[in-house]
Structure 1
């Protein structure tokens, strides 16, 4: 059993009330650890400590070079502890080992190295002004105390890609992981202390939704960076309006995949299957709505259903597992509810559509599910399912496909499958999505912005965009007369 505490001013401590919660293995439904359930008193203490850390000489006087070395050291420690971090991520979240080992942990280390370089490259500018005898210049200054609220689908890398730019720009950060998956984030906080982060600069609060709500409402928090559901993001906007907190919101998605008549159908089947079932479909960029040219739709549906049926379902620790469990019993019920709605509204179930039984019955496993005959107004075509459910819909011409792909309140990711170079370059600009992939899986890289249009959120993460998200421009006027 793993036990995590709160980290406040570089001291590990129980919740002030002594309350704890359990984290559950999605592979078998058994408790695997406990976490401190922070109270309002703990939130107040964490914010006060973070403010003290942010304003401390140790942090404010640290040179950009030393701050970069500190971030680089955190990245090194992630790599040195990669095996244990990957095991925790798979145990707590359920993701297959090939994802935790080859994607989640390496990406977390890579992000810290990337922003280590940025610490010495946060530049301002001099502005020519028309007022006589005035020098006017701008710098970018840290926002202050930031609350970083992360989801349960990729706990470690998402914590890293929020924390690294927050520290590179000189902010203090309070990490609040999802209560379903606190273990790897607690380990990351421990590595930050080991690397030498000054007291108060990195804080860890664990607990349920009330902890996150308290952070968002707290007057001592200057910025919230949140990744999670659109509904919670809307609540954060409402609460933050009271004191105009700065916000970054990476929310839901309903990614369209357009398979053109000239697409390599076997490559499209394989790529779409992987893009749809990556982390068992528990990814905001997962491909979910498949617009397939009518001349290819029957072949596509037959092949992707057969391929989905052939995938190994099992615990993430099994090296042969491709499809792991869903994150919780509650989420499994949510996915099953969407599948029921597809059946009730007239979509044709081709394969899947049921919980896995037998020796996996105690875990939260759901078979990859493929629907055809899906209409654009069906629930499964409109709402984010966040699970292994694929909806296939035919189209006749590209204008129709683009209009239907854009007929969503989300706009995070889209993908296009074509062998025509002109189509590959001309279509993406017509699609309302933050990232458009062509003939490939959804990818994330520290050098490329990540975020979306519409109800997929506000702002961008990664690249120089995160530097902007965690700083404010400040102007200085100098009287030269």
Structure 2
């Protein structure tokens, strides 16, 4: 019997282990999910909304306990983890509940004498949600809540690093009175995931993870006529113009680079600064970086925890070493952060200058507390460099000129364009990306489109 083990990055201890689901239990889950959805789709939307409200109340009531679990599972400092539930999770869940009536409403068309015509939005069926570990609840809520609100059933797979998330979702929905089988969670390996995706009872896949993972999802779909929403990698840029409020830009871009130890799909990984303010910006960035405290994430004073695994830190250290070997300069001495230790997941933040796009730190996803900062001579150079990427999730501009921000935003290849903010997801806007960042969209009214299918009614009276 196969066992899934979760090793805590805090101290390398075994935090949790559980058995993988069997072929028999997976078959039972798929059968039950399909049967339960047939009934759930006929449940009035008002009742579906009420159940989701009750589930949200469970999460908010248990946010501090859930936050501690997140810290142990993936290493984010405990001073922040409860807010994944209290802020972002709650904001997104409430928004998708609030707009459900509008998003799922029957679409009326202009009348024609002798006919009645309209378009209904019907649930797609069984939605398979494959969740990541870095923001396990914040990302899952994007799909789980609207899928259920739309009348679908959900099968949920938690990441190996954050297995307790599936238990929490199940407990929340059980307490809320969700009918049996409408939400289920499974513990699976990659082969089992592929087999479930290939099963005719699965109607939609929502995946958040790596580009390699996205390709595996697409391969598993093979010849089936279903869609997968894929939120994959990122290498999100920021551009600081000459007219920027530098204090505001520094404060927010440091936070955007280092929050969650840089393990955020929309975190800042590369910064381009107009040459006239480059030195001032870089010095401010360096000074603020030095105020962070790297250490045990269970300490409420810690602001920078370990990366999820030692191998993740090793990858980031290799990126830094490669950049230094090609002429980059580091502005932060790791010895300033005593907890930094080679071979461990505890890694000091790094600020590199004299970087260029021959260095992987400026082109390949780091997912770590490291950032390269380049000087640019004008908007055109910044646009060219921002677009010189295989990814396109978010990008930000820091300026006092809204017209310039809009004009530049029209030229940058990205899913979301920010002015004077970063590393944030507004649930009223579609969360989407371009290029290797994936395809599809979640949240907003648009987020309901992939979770439903149109059915036209054409009645001759």
Tell me the TM-score normalized by structure 2: 0.93
Query: Contact 1:156/1:184 (CA < 8 Å) preserved in 2?
Result: yes
Equivalent of 1:65, from 43, 46, 51? 46
Query: Contact 2:48/2:149 (CA < 8 Å) preserved in 1?
Result: yes
Equivalent of 2:252, from 260, 268, 271? 271
Deviation for aligned residue 1:352: 5.2
Q: 1:218 to 1:356 in 2, by over 3 A?
A: farther
- Per the alignment, residue 282 of structure 1 pairs with 263
Equivalent of 2:349, from 368, 388, 391? 368
- Per the alignment, residue 13 of structure 2 pairs with 30
Moved more, 338-347 or 308-317: 338-347
1:327 aligns with 2:308: yes
Distance 1:405 1:362 in 2: 32
Tell me, what secondary structure is at the counterpart of 1:427?
helix
Equivalent of 2:136, from 119, 133, 155? 155
Distance 1:73 1:42 in 2: 28
Distance 1:419 1:374 in 2: 27
Deviation for aligned residue 1:38: 2.3
- Superposition pairs for residues 181-220 of structure 1, below 5 Å? 181-220=162-201
Distance 2:131 2:150 in 1: 19
Distance 2:310 2:340 in 1: 16
Q: 1:264 to 1:355 in 2, by over 3 A?
A: closer
- Superposition pairs for residues 67-216 of structure 1, below 5 Å? 67-121=48-102, 122-128=104-110, 133-216=114-197
Distance 1:282 1:68 in 2: 32
1:294 aligns with 2:275: yes
Query: Contact 1:155/1:185 (CA < 8 Å) preserved in 2?
Result: no
Deviation for aligned residue 1:128: 4.8
Runs of 4+ in structure 1 deviating by more than 6 angstroms, as ranges, are: 353-357, 359-362
Encode CA deviations 1:258-295: one digit per residue, 9 max, x unaligned. 01112222322221110111111000101111111112
Tell me the number of residue pairs that the alignment of Structure 1 and Structure 2 aligns: 460
Encode CA deviations 1:405-443: one digit per residue, 9 max, x unaligned. 111121111111112343234322222211122122321
Encode CA deviations 1:327-372: one digit per residue, 9 max, x unaligned. 1223222222322332333322332579976597895211101111
1:341 aligns with 2:326: no
Q: 1:207 to 1:239 in 2, by over 3 A?
A: closer
Distance 1:437 1:359 in 2: 33
1:43 aligns with 2:26: yes
Deviation for aligned residue 1:155: 0.6
Tell me, what secondary structure is at the counterpart of 1:430?
coil
Equivalent of 1:399, from 361, 364, 380? 380
Query: Contact 1:253/1:410 (CA < 8 Å) preserved in 2?
Result: yes
Query: Contact 2:294/2:339 (CA < 8 Å) preserved in 1?
Result: no
Equivalent of 1:433, from 390, 394, 414? 414
Encode CA deviations 1:297-354: one digit per residue, 9 max, x unaligned. 2232233223222210122222211111111223222222322332333322332579
Query: Contact 2:42/2:151 (CA < 8 Å) preserved in 1?
Result: no
Distance 1:440 1:118 in 2: 25
Tell me the TM-score normalized by structure 1: 0.90
Q: Root-mean-square deviation (CA), in Å?
A: 2.2
- Per the alignment, residue 313 of structure 1 pairs with 294
Tell me, what secondary structure is at the counterpart of 1:291?
strand
Equivalent of 1:424, from 394, 398, 405? 405
Q: Which runs of 5+ in 1 are unaligned?
A: 1-16
